[in-house]
Structure 1
Amino acid sequence: MRLLEHDPELGQLLDAQRREQATHELIAHVTAVEVGEWDGARLADVDPRNLGLIVLEGVLAREVVLEEFVSTELLGAGDIIRPWPLDPEPSLLPVQTRWNALSPARLALLDQRAAAVIARYPEINAVIVDRLIARSRRLAIEQAISQMKRVDDRMLALFWHLAERFGRVVPDGVQVPLVLSHRLVGELVGATRPSVSTALAELTARGELTRRDDGTWLLLGHPPAVPDVPGPELIRQRRRLTPARAQGASG
């Protein structure tokens, strides 16, 4: 598969001539992942010298388990992952990592051959590094959200945070098209499932957040940081400035 045809933003810094050349040279194998638990370390093509995987479609959940506590990170199109780390899990803490596909996903394997091609294109390397930094920035934001005192505030902040990447403007608000259970939301904001259920009831009563019949979520009103701009209008404005891959993911 020609990777730049499926992930064109990876070549956004290339001029026209180099982009055409890179499109023909950069070939990646694609792995399909079904909904449910996924062990990326057991991919048939896994080699510790491979660079990693790029998410082309779908949403993955990376769960870090410490005793009975679980912290979850959501990953979508454009994210770069490497489920076969060189360093083992920390030995002084009982930590485990689990992967789940929340929707059918397609992943592009950056093997050694693809890595050799990428090495000839610093422009592509710059985009890869930028994506890794963006992922770390999102994690820092989510950590800050988990420090908010009230669970309803955490949930509202989380869903506006997710809407910035996955949100879709619909007639009655901003849809976050991810099917997230109350348990999973709790793992994202650092709260128990009963606390999430109680907070959701409060947010629904206030007309700020509701769960739709299909399991996805609907934001109403204004984002916390921009109280004077309706959410749908803000999402429309950002879509004019942000890459197409950030516009949504099914779940």
Structure 2
Amino acid sequence: MADDVVLTAPLFAGLEPDSARTLIASMKSIDVGRGDVLFHEGEPGDRLYVIREGKIKLGTRSSDGRENLLAVLGPGEMIGELSLFDPGTRTATATAISDAVVLEMGHHDLQTWLASTPAVAEHLLQALARRLRRTNEALADLVFSDVPGRVAKALLDLSSRFGRPVEDGIRVAHDLTQEELAQLVGASRETVNKALADFAARGWVRREGRAVVLLDVDRLERRAR
């Protein structure tokens, strides 16, 4: 089952199932505990990772110690593909927010693989384009959207990847602390908590620790616009 999710990663797109599974078998599997750092911002980027299980956050830290959460990634998503096309240091720190398993491939092995299967490079470039589009949307939201709108959009984005249907809605086990959720939205923890409390009072969501149940997706979608 885990491999079925991994096969959705752009690295394996367009490959015959047998070829994709052969590639997966050749990659190193790494267990990462919650809170463990996979790599640090500023380190040489010479590895690509595909998440097999769990969740990894990508974050940056300013010179004065403030943190910014760029993304939360889950099974089937890749980390470190940027340095394949633009060699250099890591632009973010990757930290597990739940116990995770990742598949690792060195760039030398990846380049060899791409030389024999050039069609995969197109899918990797498409993945980079999607990542850039999401970054541009996030920047626009910071300028044009208020905090409640950004919170609603973040919840919907997390639900599209981590949500599971339950009797009264969609349960999203995001595994983020209140501070991390605020960093993802780009606002203070107090302001984000106020928005969540308002959503709960309106009956749009129900908070459950490091999870939230979306009770009224339509209202959240309208608020996110």
List aligned pairs for 1:73-84, cutoff 5 A.
Answer: 73-82=71-80
**Is the contact made by 2:40 and 2:92 (CA closer than 8 Å) also made in structure 1?**
no
Q: Which has the higher helix share?
A: 2
Match of 1:104 among 94, 99, 104: 99
Structure with greater Cα Rg: 1
CA distance in 1, matches of 2:171, 2:188: 24
Match of 1:171 among 167, 170, 177: 167
- Counterpart check, 1:34 vs 2:30: no
Distance 1:5 1:171, change over 3 A: closer
**Is the contact made by 1:36 and 1:102 (CA closer than 8 Å) also made in structure 2?**
yes
Task: Give the corresponding residue for 2:66.
Answer: 69
**Is the contact made by 1:179 and 1:216 (CA closer than 8 Å) also made in structure 2?**
yes
Task: Give the corresponding residue for 2:119.
Answer: 123
Task: Give the corresponding residue for 2:196.
Answer: 200
Deviations 1:78-116 (A, max 9, x none): 222229964358xxxxxx843321111111111223441
Distance 1:6 1:178, change over 3 A: closer
Alpha-carbon offset, residue 136 of structure 1: 2.4
CA distance in 1, matches of 2:81, 2:116: 25
CA distance in 1, matches of 2:176, 2:165: 19
- Counterpart check, 1:157 vs 2:153: yes
- SS of 1:179's equivalent in the other structure is coil
Deviations 1:37-74 (A, max 9, x none): 404259xxx985x4511122211111111224322021
Task: Give the corresponding residue for 1:249.
Answer: none
Alpha-carbon offset, residue 171 of structure 1: 1.0
TM-score w.r.t. the length of structure 2 is 0.78
Percent pairwise identity: 23
List aligned pairs for 1:1-251, cutoff 5 A.
Answer: 7-9=6-8, 10-14=11-15, 16=16, 19-24=17-22, 27-40=26-39, 50-66=46-62, 67-72=64-69, 73-82=71-80, 86-88=87-89, 97-111=92-106, 112-212=108-208, 214-223=209-218
What amino acid maps onto 2:67 in structure 1?
V
- SS of 2:29's equivalent in the other structure is strand
Equivalences, count: 211
Q: CA RMSD in A?
A: 3.2
Q: Say which is worse superposed, 3-12 or 192-201, in terms of deviation.
A: 3-12
CA distance in 1, matches of 2:100, 2:137: 25
CA distance in 2, matches of 1:6, 1:208: 30
Deviations 1:101-143 (A, max 9, x none): 1111111111223441233113332332222222222333333
Distance 1:117 1:150, change over 3 A: closer
TM-score w.r.t. the length of structure 1 is 0.71
| Structure 1 unmatched ranges of 5 or more | 90-95, 228-251
Alpha-carbon offset, residue 194 of structure 1: 1.2
CA distance in 2, matches of 1:133, 1:25: 24
- SS of 1:215's equivalent in the other structure is coil
CA distance in 2, matches of 1:181, 1:25: 35
Deviations 1:8-53 (A, max 9, x none): 2344423x5xx434533561111111000404259xxx985x4511
What amino acid maps onto 1:184 in structure 2?
E
CA distance in 1, matches of 2:100, 2:20: 25
Alpha-carbon offset, residue 160 of structure 1: 0.9
Distance 1:179 1:6, change over 3 A: closer
CA distance in 2, matches of 1:118, 1:149: 40
Q: Say which is worse superposed, 55-64 or 67-76, in terms of deviation.
A: 67-76
